[in-house]
């Protein structure tokens, strides 16, 4: 915060508002995050043709319920179990999680 006249002193309590850009984000378990060979953070998902795709993501925030990610399509079928055992381009047969495909 600019303080040209030095009216804001150490230890002073203040409330400020920071304008933030709104973004579409997905909350996921951090366990679904994976690293590409070059160290890029991403997730693996299944595309409409049932092929594995590695998608780079940006972590926007963390919460007790998971991490908030940017970079995914609006709807995505994430691989949540065994993502480290499949590779980009591999054909797979998605199996619903306990709660079903969503």
CB burial of residue 20 (10 Å; 0-12, 13-18, 19+): exposed
Q: What is the pLDDT of residues 9-45, one digit of tens each?
A: 888 887 888 888 888 899 999 999 999 999 999 999 9
Instruction: Report the number of distinct structural domains present in the chain.
Output: 1
Does residue 34 fall inside a structural domain?
A: yes
Domain CATH code at residue 56: 2.40.420
38-92 pLDDT, tens digit per residue, is 999 999 999 999 999 999 999 999 988 999 999 999 999 999 999 999 999 999 9
User: Residues 86, 25, 94, CA angle at the centre, nearest 5°?
Assistant: 30
Phi-psi region of 80 (alpha: psi -120 to 50; beta: other; left: phi over 0): alpha
Q: How far apart are the first and last CA of the chain?
A: 44
Range of the domain at 30: 26-85
């Amino acid at each position: 915060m600019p303080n040209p006249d030095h009216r804001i002193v150490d230890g002073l309590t203040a409330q400020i508002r920071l304008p933030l850009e709104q973004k579409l984000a997905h909350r996921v378990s951090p366990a679904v995050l994976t690293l590409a060979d070059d160290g890029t953070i991403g997730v693996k998902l299944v595309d409409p043709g049932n092929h594995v795709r590695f998608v780079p993501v940006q972590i926007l925030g963390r919460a007790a319920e998971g991490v908030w990610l940017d970079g995914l399509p609006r709807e995505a079928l994430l691989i949540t179990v065994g993502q480290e055992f499949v590779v980009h381009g591999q054909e797979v047969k998605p199996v619903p999680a306990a709660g079903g495909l969503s």
